[in-house]
Amino acid sequence: MPAEILERVFVDLADRSYTISIGSDLIPSFAELASDHLQSDRLFIITDENVAPHYLSPLLESCAAAHLHVETVILPAGEQTKSFSQYESLINRLLSYKPSRKDCLVALGGGVIGDLVGYVASSLLRGLPFIQVPTTLLSQVDSSVGGKTGINTKYGKNLVGAFYQPEAVFIDINSLSTLPARETLAGYAEVVKYGLINDETFFSWLEENGPSLLKGDKDLMAQAISKSCQSKAQVVSEDEREGGKRALLNLGHTFGHAIEAACGYDGTLLHGEGVSIGMCLAFEASVHLGLCPQEEADRVARHLKACGMMTRAADVPHTLEADTLVNNMAQDKKIEAGEIVFVLAEGIGKSLLVKGPDSQIIKTTIMRSLK
Ligand code: NAD
Ligand code: MG
């Protein structure tokens, strides 16, 4: 099947600008599509053990047909792969192939592969080009846009990394056909987030089309991915290094990270599941702080629930304590002068940053969500 590009999103970042192409069968046509972005005929494809059986062969076949020289690295799947040890072994493996600064790294996989490979690309030989081929909904709408790359440390997630933009991103929506439904749903939380931040029309569109696109309607899915990438690209173009507006992308994340951390990152709770609950908590807290009408918060929870997502801390299959969650929030990266910066909302599509809101109200909101 020839590639069909359904949508294109331009990420406008001066000389670091790039295009995200969204469509079907982009992986089997990868070499052809990527040819304009390659400075040499050598590629290093890095993927994980779950993605490789489905998508590595078509990618390799397209490269062979284009007479590209390819080395492939298949890493273990999972968050543990974003580690110093995997970073070191990947760097050494690539150095053993004697790469040049014109050779290109290709990240084929979800956010774990994208973040690790992006960081390796930023630092190997002081930086060589890389292309993202994200294969999870989360990586397609979030981690492949905006140039944050990195690995985890024993002190916390994503604490070592770089802002480093790819040459191009190719999103093959067919890759979602093998993604476990739970992962798709977790990625969908980030899609909903874009509507909640600043686009009420998109949220209404999701209320109407979300259930169908989650059932596999590809055209609707491509539209939702495109809209999400546009939304993130817009924010990133205005604030590449998170000096201000980019922080709005953390809607639901302060609460979400606190819940994720309490669950111990062992797969009990996926990131997007934490974000789904976190967005509901952010809206509930906004209601209690007198910022947002209750109906708006109810509408957010209703949509997430209709799609089969968790909306309350009590939905988490793990015993949670309000105090633990409050303490976890105090460890959040988004702290300014000792005060946590929350993303709250005056309504759907009307989010705002609030530094140090009333901590008792935040705690009460969490306690209610735990009941
Ligand atoms: P992931 O990469 O671990 O993928 C989830 C699971 O799905 C893995 O088991 C993977 O092997 C499997 N998988 C991937 N594609 C598949 C496919 N098409 N078919 C079947 N299985 C497939 O996780 P993720 O949710 O994609 O990304 C999470 C990571 O992204 C986290 O480390 C997070 O910190 C990071 N992230 C980064 C940014 C950023 O701006 N850089 C933004 C959001 C999240
Ligand atoms: Mg997120």
Predicted confidence (pLDDT) at residue 251 exceeds the cutoff of 90: yes
Predicted confidence (pLDDT) at residue 274 exceeds the cutoff of 70: yes
Task: List the residue whose alpha carbon is closest to atom 4 of ligand 1.
Answer: 110
pLDDT in tens, 312-343: 999 999 889 999 999 999 887 667 777 889 99
Can you give the pLDDT at residue 337? 74
pLDDT in tens, 95-124: 999 999 999 999 999 999 999 999 999 999
Arithmetic mean of pLDDT, 265-290: 95
pTM above 0.90, yes or no: yes
Residues whose CB is less than 8 angstroms from the CB of residue 44 and which lie 6 or more positions away in sequence, other chains included: 70, 71, 72, 73, 94, 97, 99, 103, 104, 105, 106
- From 20, 26, 47, 115, give the residue whose CB has the most ligand 1 atoms within 8 Å, as the site to mutate: 115
Burial bucket for residue 46 (CB in 10 Å: 0-12, 13-18, 19+): buried
Q: Which ligand is nearest to the CA of 138?
A: 1
C-beta of 136 in contact with ligand 1 (< 6 A): yes
| Binding-site sequence positions for NAD(+) | 111-115, 135-136, 148, 157
User: Looking at this predicted complex, what is its ipTM?
Assistant: 0.99
pLDDT in tens, 2-16: 899 999 999 999 999
- From 26, 49, 50, give the residue whose CB has the most ligand 1 atoms within 8 Å, as the site to mutate: 50
**Residues labelled catalytic:** 126, 148, 190, 232, 242, 246, 250, 253, 257, 271
Question: Which of these, 161, 105, 156, lies nearest to 130 by C-alpha position?
Answer: 105
Arithmetic mean of pLDDT, 236-247: 86
Angstrom distance (rounded) from CA 99 to CA 82 = 22
Distance 172 CA to ligand 1 centre (A): 15
| Binding-site sequence positions for Zn(2+) | 190, 253, 271
pLDDT in tens, 169-180: 999 999 999 999
Q: How far is the CA of 173 from the CAs of 26, 52, 114, 137, 180, in angstroms? A: 8, 16, 17, 9, 14
